[in-house]
Each structure stands twice: as C-alpha cells, then as structure tokens.
Structure 1
Amino acid sequence: MQEVTVPPPQLTIKAIVLGVLLAALLAGANAYLGLFAGMTVSASIPAAVISMGVLSLFRRSNILENNIVQTGASAGESLAAGVIFTLPALVIMNYWPAFDYGWVLVIAGLGGLLGVLFTIPLRRSLIVEEGLTFPEGIATAEVLRVGENPKRGLGYLMGAALAGGLTKLAETGLGLWNSVAQTGAYMGKAAVYGGANLSPALLSVGYIVGINIAGLVFAGGVIAWCLAIPLYSAFFLEAHPELAALAAKGVSAVDLAYAIWSAEVRYLGVGAMLVGGLWALFSMRRSLVTALQGGLRQYTGHRDKVLSPAERDTPMKWVLQGILLLLVPLFFLYHSIHSQVTLGISLTMTLVMVIAGFLFASVAAYMAGLVGSSNNPISGVTIATILFSSLALLWLMGSETAIGPMAAILIGAVVACAAAIAGDNMQDLKAGYLVGATPWKQQLMQGIGVLSSALVMAPILNLLLKAYGMGVPTPEHPNPLLAPQATLMASVAEGVFGADLPWKMVGLGALMGGAIIGMDSWLSARGSSWRAPVLAVAVGVYLPLNLSVPIFIGGLIAKAAERVRHRLGDPQHRERHRRYGLLVAAGLITGEALAGILMAIPIVITGDREVLALAQAPWGGLPGLVVVGVIAWGLYRAACGGLGK
C-alpha cells in the first residue's frame, strides 16, 4: 500500500479564529477602498504576514496554519469586491433605502459559496496539470516559506497602516486640507480638466498593480478626460440639451467636465468592459472545457488510489449536492422580489445566474492563473451578465415593469460574488499546493471566510452610506463615495428598461475595447512583457481622472524601486525589500480604509459630517501634497532597500 505522509495540523482553532477575524476586517477595508477608488487589491500577503506575527506568539505553529489564515482572510477581501461592485446599485436606484441585512447576507454568502464550489473541479487541472502561474499565489507561498523575521514585516505593515490612518483623519476628519487638488479651464468651447486625489491608498493601489496596469488605468483616464470630454464639450454639446443648458449658465470647466463624464463619456468604459468580458469567455472556451473535463476525470480515475493529503479535494458528489442545495434559496429569493415575478421568471433568473456564474467563475479562475487577480475581468463579466439579464427580463416582463432593473442587479450580484471569489481563491489553492497544504481543508476555510465576511458586509455598508453617501451627490452628502462600478451597473440596468442608455457611447466604447484587444494580441504575439488588458483601460475611463493620477504615480514608484533593487548584489535582500514594499502599500490602504470606517461612527451618531473638523482646509491641498509626497518617498525607500538592510 502506498504510504501517505500526514502533514502538520492545519485547521486548528487558533488558525480558524484568526482567519475569521482577518476576513471580516479586510472585507470592511476592501469595501471602503472599492467604493472610493473603484479598485480592490489582494490581501493574501498582508494576511500571511499578520498570521506569522500573531501565531509566532504561540508555542506551536506551522506554515500550513499560516496558509489557512491567509486563505480565509483573502476570501473576505474578494467577497467584498463582488458585493460593492453591484449591491450599492440598489441603493443608488432607490430600490433600497439602506442595505437590508438578510438580503445582503443571503446574496453575498450564497454567491461566494457558489464561487468556492464552482472552482473545486478546476483546481487539479489548472494548478497541477496545466501548471498556470497564479502570480499572487506563488508570491504568497514564498512569503510563507521564508517566514524570516515576521515581526519586522508586521512592523512595516502596522507602521504604514498608522500613517495611512492618520493622513485620512487629518484630511477627511480634521479638515486640515482638501482631498483633491484640481483645476479646469476653457480653451475656446472645450472644457479642460486636471487634478489629483491626495490619497496614500491610491498611491498604494498603483504600486501593488505595477506600472503596466497603472499606466493603462491612467491611459483610460487620459482618453476620457483629455480627449473625449474636451471634444464633446467643443463639438457635440448641443446634442444633449441638459448639458448644453448647464454650459449656458456659465458653470466652471471643472463642473462641466464632470457633468459630461457622468452623462456620456463614462459609458465608453461600459462598452469596453462588455467587450472585454465576452472576449475573455470566447478566447478561453477550449481551455475551460479541457480544464473542466480534467477536473471531472480526477473524481472517477482515483477511486482505487490512495491519495496523499496534498491531492485531496472536496468530493465531487458533495460539490454537486452543495450547488443544488444553494440554488433552492436563490430561487425563492428571486421569487420573493415582487408579485410580478412568476415561478417561470424566477426559474429563468436562477438558470441565468447559475450558468453565467459557472462560466464567469471559470473565466476568473483561468485569468487569475494567467495574469493574476488584479487583471481579472470581474467588472466586464458583471456588466455582460446584467445586460443579458436585463434584456431577458425585458422580454419576459415588458418595459413597463418597475422591478426589472432590480432583478437584473440581483442576478449580477450573485455572479460577481462567485467570480470574485473564484479568481482569488485559486491563488490561495496555488499557494497551498506549493507549501503542501490539503486542498479540501483550504476549500472549507474559504467557505468559512466567505460566511464570516458576509455577516459584516451590511453593517459596514450601512455605516458608510449614512456617513458619506454613495454614488450620487445629495445635499446631505455632496462628496459621496463614488461606487463607480455600482453606479454603472445601475445605469445599464435602468437604461435597458428605460431605453435611455447612451448606446452610441457604449458602441464607441465597444469599438475601443476591440482595438485594445487587438493591441494586446499583437503584444502577446511579439512576446512582449507588456500587455494591454482591456479592463484596465476601461477602469480608467469610468474613474475620475483625479483617481487615476495617483494610481499612475504609484506604478512609477514601483518601477523605480524595482530598478534600484536590480542593482543590489544580494538576491535575498532584493526579495526581502520587494515584500517590504508590498507590505507598506497594503498597510497604507488598510489604515486609510479603517480610518474612514471608524470616522463614520461619530458622524452617524451625531448626524454631523463635520463633527471632527478643526478647520476648513485653510491652505487648500498644499499640506496634503507635502504629506503624500513624504509617504510616497517612504514607500519608495522601503521598497528599494533604503530603510535598513
């Protein structure tokens, strides 16, 4: 009989408890970041470092326990992305006055669990047989393996979190400087805009995704704000009576630029994302079929073989039973939306959800293996799902129905949660494969992480909604959290039923997306290390330019630090400071996000958004420029080895 090596303990009580706490904490932080910046980042490496620092306090701990902790924590982070990309649309469209706890829990929890189950048959094929890269998974495994001086890494993380939190407190809470440095001017009839958000978190996002993606996000911003908006204001303004009337009132160039972007130009991003999501599905059709066939074969081909712990997935019969079990409450959830939703419509919604969920979860899993979680087309596939769902519901229910857009958003929300979980969790399974973890134990911890974060999503979202507002400026919240993806999801769903979607802009965006895909294919054929994923450009188009600028600067910092590290003689020193840079960036993001959440508490209690303010930005954005400049320098020095060896 084949001898099976028993690994050290993995699902220990202390690992599960720490994983649950980090899942909830990082879910809240990533929810704030996504609503603010329209982008989220992986939390695996920071979670691994925190785990190593905390578990080192115990007499016995091991690498597989640390891996279990980061697995659960990253599930919370990725679920937050699926939630904030979709569910705020229901508040923006005034279907919900606030985030209903039961609905959010069911949608996020069931969608996330489906994402876990959908990827179990793909694990062996994508990770073992095809050997896809899964870059974040490899990086996390290296951090877990080295484990050198975790307390110092934890010090970098916590120090950066303190800096990010204090900066956010000084700017948003105390009112010592403006959050955005911006200006605008008219050149003839053309409205020209320029600006930068003074956020350390945005610098850190750019640093983490790197110069390639950060540059593409910035390029999308340039296309929208430096080309499309000036051209539209100069030559096409009369085609939109409301915008023409706004310009006739003599509003500032900044206000007109934002109005044009909101009403017309950002829909270029919708078209580009739609094409990107469909292209991802089409281009991977053969690979996905092969991966699924290989995944199913393993459950019939190993019945008489003694599997090692590192080969044991959750049994396929349990996976299929779990999927069927989860579909039942989703069916009744859709049926309970409104009396207009018949059993046939509810069944159609459930079928669309499960088919789209599985297809796009598979795409997300495969894309994560090729280019990493940061380049996953989650926004694109969600837009495609909502557009298709809206058209199907329009045919079934007619254009007069009032609940059609809501129903489409709910389908998209489940798909987005499943796809977000699928891509990020495959990175964790890759890390586990490299360090010898047991797959079914990781898959169980992924489910625990999903449920842990689903339990806290509604309270966090309600707190942010009451304190800052979301999506649309109101007299109470003139500068809300933008929630860019959710705002676009709402516009698409309402536009299909109201027949007022700016289809010309969507079509132009689709053409732009096709051109970018062609460029990316050309770069791939040449073997270039630079790529042009269409989603990154689309993100830049539908983000305000002031958010894209610091993301681009963060990418430049990452590139400059990389060049300095390459000149260092010691490979271990280079790798150590590469990780330190990532930890500083992750700490800045986490600190700023948590400060934003904590500051929301006194705002909600008192009803006064200026309750902490000591001033009203007496020096404009100048102090913020100085502070963010110092933080950027510190990030650069930590990443290139200048803060100790």
Structure 2
Amino acid sequence: MPKKEGKPKGFTVRAVLLGCVLAAVFTLVNSYLSLNFGMGVGFGVVTIFLSYVLFHKLLGNSSKREIALTWIMSGTGLSVAWTIGFLIFVQENVVHSNLPVWLAPSIEAIQDKTLSFSAWMTPILVIFFLGATSGLLGLIVSYCTCQLFIQNRRMVFPHFTASAVVIDSCFKREGHIRFLAYSLIAGFAITFVQYLLKVINVETTLIDLSSHLPRGFLFGIALNVAFIAIGYFISAPVALSILVSSLAVYLIAAPILINQGFVTYSPNSMQQYMNLLYQYTISPGLGVMILGGIVLSVTKMLSARLKPRAPESPNALEAKGSKLGYGELFQFFIRSLTTNRRLFLCFMVVAASTLTFAYHFNFLYPFPPVISVAFTLFFLLAAGFVNFVIITKMAGEAGMTTDVQSILLFMAPLFATGYRGYTGYLIQPGSPSPWVGNSVVGYAKISNGLDLDLKGVVKAVLISWLPSFIASVTFVLVMWKVAGFLTPTMPCIAFVQALPIFRMFAEGTIAGVIDPTTFLAGGALGAVLEAFTPASIMGMALGMLLPPFYGVPFGIGGILRLYSDHKYGAVFFKEKGVLIASGLIAGGILTQVLMSIFLVISGLTR
C-alpha cells in the first residue's frame, strides 16, 4: 500500500536560516522605529516574495508550509530594545531613579557609557529571563484559548490574513498572483503619489478640518487606502462601531466638554486630542474595553443559570464565540490547561520560576517580598490575562492595538498600595506577553489554508527568539554608545512621551487619571450594546481612544463591505475582496512607512 501523504516539510535548513536572518534584520529596523518614533512595521510581504523567489523559483520546489513558517520566524521574536533603551533613558534623565543594579547598570556606569561585561551581564540576563518567561506564558495562554478565538467570525486578523492570501496566491493559478499584484501596485502607487505631493507641501494624507469648525470640534480624515482596506477586511459591525463611536466622541462629546471647561482647550488638533484623552475619554474608553467584557461574562453566567440549557447547533456555538467575556475565556483557559499534563507542567515550572524571581529580587522593595509575590500572581492570573484578551481582540477585530489599558490594569493597582519607585512600574513579572499571545492566535486563525498546525506555529515563534534578542540588545547598546539618545540620529520620541507617565506613578504626582463614574458607565454601555446589538466592544473602545482621523476611513471600508456583501454576496469577499484588500493593505502600509522614514530622516539631516 502506498504511504499516506503527510503535511509537506516546512522546517527546512534554508527556511530556518532565512527566517532567523530576516528576524534579526527586521528587529534592527523595528527597534529603530520603536525607540525613535513609537511605531513598528511588518515586513511579511517582503519575506513571502523573497522566500518564494529563492525557494520556489531558484532553488527548486517549495510549499506553502515552508514559506509560511519562514514568514512566521521572520515576523516574531523576543525584542528587548525598548526595555533596555528606556532603562538607560531613565538612568540618564531621572536623578533619583534608584533602579537596582540587577535591572540596570549604575548611574555612574551609564554616564561613562560603559559596555563592560560586569556592568551589563546581570541586567541583560534578568531582562532575558523576564522576556522569555512572559513570552512562554503568552504562548501557553494563547495555545489554550485560541480555539475559542479562531471560531469567532469577527476575529479576522486582517494583517495575518492578508499575508496568508499572498502566500496562497503564489501557488494558485487562474491569475490569483497577478490579481494580487495589481492590488499591491495600486496600494503602492496611490500612497507614493500622496507622499510625493507632501514633499511639495500639498497635504493629501491627512485632512484636518478641526480649525474650520466651531471651538471644541475635532474632525479629520486620514486619506489612507490601507485603513479603508482594513475597514473593508474586518467585519462591518466592528468598522462601523469605530466610526460611530469616533463621531460621537469628537463631534458631540468633545465640544460640550471643552466649552463647559471639563477639558482644556488647545488650537492644535493633536494636543486637543491628548487633552481629551487623558482628561476624559480614557475612562469610558477603558470602561467599555475592560468592564464591558466582565459585565458581559457575569450577565451570560446569570442567564445560563436561570435558563435551562438546550442543545446548540454549530452555527449557534460559532455566534456565541463572538460574544465571549473574560470570565468564560478564563474558565476555558483553566480547563484546557488542566487537561493537558505536559502543558500544565510547563506552566507550573514557568510560574514557579517567576514567583521565585519575585521573592528573591523583591522588585517592589521596600515592601516585603511577599507583596512582590502577590502582585506577580495578580499579573499572571488577572491583569495579564485580561490584557492578553484585550489586545488579541483588538488585533483580531480591528487589525490594530493600543497599550493604554495597561495604565489601569498594572499601574493603578500598584499605585493604590502606596508604592513609589520606578522598578515596580517598569517590569511586570508573570504577565503573559499579549504580543506573543495575539500573534500565535492570529497565525492559528489562518493555519489551515497554509498546511500549518498549532505546534508548528509555536516552534517557529520559539526559533525566532534568540536572533531577535541578540539583534535588539546589540542595536540599542551600540546606538547608545555611538550616537547617544536625544540626538538627531536617535531622537527617542517614544521615550520622551513615556517618561512623564511613568514619572507620575513612580513619584506620586498622578491626579485622577481614571474617573470611576465614567469608567463604570462605559463598561455598562459596552456590555449592553455588545449583548443586544451588532456593535463591537473593541470597535467602540477604539473609536474613543484613537485620534479623530481614523474613524472615517474605517467606516468607509465597513460601508463598502456592507455594499459588496449585499450586491454580490459573501462569496465575492472570499474570492476577490480578500485579494483586493490584502494587496492594498500590504502595498499602502509598506510604502507609507518607508516614505515616512525617508521624510523624517530628510528633515533630521538638514
């Protein structure tokens, strides 16, 4: 009897070598972008086309699995550039930071810009331990919960799906790759022309109409073909939730709050947005995002107790997946973990190691070590899990994320204890990495079409850790030594923006960042709308928290999706719409990032 064909081989030597090399290269690029401009970019399309040409065209036959694993290895990693860079920045700019020598070299060593082994060995090992344990916990949590996420229709993970479509198109005939190429070229051409016009002071990338409106109104449109394509790609309810929420905040709530004196007025749109965010909208926005899911869980559990259970069809179960709250997800996580002995053992070893670290190093000194252990457990089982769910839902439903919720989840509880100092706010031992976690869930979502399995995804992620870690450490230390921070070469805008927030908590100068009333109201509103309407909690929250320029392009995409589904049926999206959106997203974003870097560097070097 002939042997049954298994999955094509993926972890070839050439795939691992190329994946690791690209992981290091992309880590260097994104480390520079992250430190200096607070941004990052995915190079998935570059990896896919490069590996397809090298493996399939030049070196013989390849497979979707091999190229997909190369893409995963190149696009994930264990970068610590931001962490090490910010620790250096704090030591340079805060006189009494009192960071322990196990976390950062002494102020004297930083002032001398020493790269000696004795000064850096312990901090680098500690940072690697914290990053690796956080990443492992993120892998475990995502492994246990991804089944619920991937059966959710709203969790489309637009960026992951776009890259998967590119891979699939490379191996399909009938003009798929050509059709995708046309979309890529269109995304590139439109964005490139916009930035060429920007060079001659003709602004077509961002139309800000706030100055033409009455005092307090904020309105603008980011004319970005990629954002419109993302709005089309994600479900219409999510895209339209972002639009409606954004318009309600910036055209109704903002003028009232500003003219009544509740929010400080500024003629500058971005400054006005920041004032509105930190003086008001952050509270209801986080309430919708965090409390909405909790209230939804409680409501569903009470409803389940009051109503007799009836058999549920597969379609009903799938629809139910889109409405899961944090409590149900946590129960599913515990159940999945305890039924897998090997995974449970791994979890216990990592958790025990992290708790031992917390007790030994006592990162919340002068509190006793038991407090450090208690907060590590809190980060592991409560705050960290909720943060993972929030970021995964944002990435899955809207294709973009924000970390603003960490202020409430991690910093506020610690601040409430009376703890003052930088160390406890800079590290959160035991917190599952939401970035690793949401990546694994995203890859799992598109794995079937690429001949992947969950174990293969996890293995590819782990392979990328060492090259990206080495690249990020090397980059930040060399650039700090050679160019320094707060220089034309390394402006470190991300650090400049982050330091005041950490200083508020560490030095006790915070004054009412979260308003309990609007926070609770936001949670109640989010739960009600999610339960009884097509609205999305994450869409509503993102509309409140994102700048006022993003709602319209997302909304346009959502309206186009409604129109195409109504006129041509859902099959149009699966056969052609995905290709169009994927090409526009990949071409538009890559061109935008490269042109933005070019314009910024040109401005810095004049």
TM-score, normalised via structure 1 length: 0.65
Name the CA shift for 1:194/1:375 in 2 (closer, same or farther; >3 Å).
closer
1:423 equivalent in structure 2: 438
- Equivalent positions of 1:336-375 (< 5 A) are 340=366, 343-356=369-382, 359-360=385-386, 363=389, 367=393, 372=396, 374=398
1:390 equivalent in structure 2: 414
What are the ranges of 5 or more consecutive residues in structure 1 without an aligned counterpart?
300-313, 471-475, 524-529, 612-645
Distance 1:39 1:213 in 2: 23
Q: CA RMSD in A?
A: 5.3
Name the CA shift for 1:559/1:293 in 2 (closer, same or farther; >3 Å).
same
Distance 2:457 2:135 in 1: 15
The partner residue of 1:296 within 338, 352, 356 is 338
- Whether contact under 8 Å (1:331, 1:347) holds in the other structure is yes
Secondary structure of 1:61's partner? coil
Name the CA shift for 1:193/1:138 in 2 (closer, same or farther; >3 Å).
closer
Structure 1 residue 359 displacement after superposition: 2.8
- Whether contact under 8 Å (2:392, 2:438) holds in the other structure is yes
Distance 2:270 2:400 in 1: 33
Distance 2:496 2:241 in 1: 20
1:9 equivalent in structure 2: 9
For 1:609, give the aligned amino acid: L
Secondary structure of 1:411's partner? coil
TM-score, normalised via structure 2 length: 0.68
2:512 equivalent in structure 1: 501
The partner residue of 2:246 within 191, 200, 221 is 221
Name the CA shift for 1:361/1:4 in 2 (closer, same or farther; >3 Å).
farther
Deviations 1:88-144 (A, max 9, x none): 79969966999x994876655543333113333446x648xx955554478876765
Distance 2:400 2:269 in 1: 32
Distance 2:73 2:503 in 1: 34
Distance 1:83 1:555 in 2: 35
1:234 equivalent in structure 2: 259
1:402 equivalent in structure 2: 421
Distance 2:581 2:206 in 1: 25
For 1:531, give the aligned amino acid: A
Name the CA shift for 1:364/1:217 in 2 (closer, same or farther; >3 Å).
closer
Structure 1 residue 191 displacement after superposition: 2.8
For 1:114, give the aligned amino acid: L
The partner residue of 2:536 within 510, 532, 537 is 532
Name the CA shift for 1:185/1:365 in 2 (closer, same or farther; >3 Å).
closer
The partner residue of 1:111 within 112, 130, 134 is 134
Secondary structure of 1:230's partner? helix
Structure 1 residue 361 displacement after superposition: 6.9
In the alignment, structure 1 residue 609 sits paired with structure 2 residue 588:
no
Distance 2:570 2:271 in 1: 53
- Equivalent positions of 1:93-172 (< 5 A) are 102=124, 107-122=130-145, 126=148, 135-136=156-157, 147-148=171-172, 152=178, 155-156=181-182, 159=185, 162-163=188-189, 166=192, 170=196
Structure 1 residue 425 displacement after superposition: 0.5
The partner residue of 2:217 within 186, 192, 195 is 192
Distance 1:598 1:580 in 2: 27
Deviations 1:501-533 (A, max 9, x none): 2444x531431332122111102xxxxxx3321
Name the CA shift for 1:10/1:274 in 2 (closer, same or farther; >3 Å).
same
- Whether contact under 8 Å (2:162, 2:582) holds in the other structure is no
Distance 1:482 1:205 in 2: 29
- Whether contact under 8 Å (1:85, 1:379) holds in the other structure is no
- Whether contact under 8 Å (1:216, 1:540) holds in the other structure is yes
Name the CA shift for 1:422/1:502 in 2 (closer, same or farther; >3 Å).
closer
- Equivalent positions of 1:231-310 (< 5 A) are 231-236=256-261, 243=264, 252=267, 254=269, 257-258=272-273, 260-261=275-276, 264-268=279-283, 269-276=285-292, 278-279=294-295, 283-299=325-341
1:411 equivalent in structure 2: 428
Distance 1:508 1:491 in 2: 25
What are the ranges of 5 or more consecutive residues in structure 2 without an aligned counterpart?
98-106, 111-119, 299-324
Identity rate of aligned residues, in percent? 14
- Whether contact under 8 Å (2:44, 2:71) holds in the other structure is yes
For 1:408, give the aligned amino acid: Y
Distance 1:385 1:570 in 2: 39
Deviations 1:340-386 (A, max 9, x none): 46544443443333223663377469858xx9353798747634422
1:510 equivalent in structure 2: 520
Distance 2:23 2:488 in 1: 24
Distance 1:430 1:15 in 2: 22
Distance 1:112 1:168 in 2: 39
1:447 equivalent in structure 2: 462
Name the CA shift for 1:511/1:233 in 2 (closer, same or farther; >3 Å).
same
Distance 1:37 1:219 in 2: 29
Deviations 1:27-76 (A, max 9, x none): 67878999999999988788656654553223031222123123334535
Deviations 1:576-629 (A, max 9, x none): 4522321221221123224434665x56xxxx6262xxxxxxxxxxxxxxxxxx
- Whether contact under 8 Å (1:352, 1:389) holds in the other structure is no
After the TM superposition, which of the residue ranges 49-58 and 224-233 deviates more from structure 2? 49-58
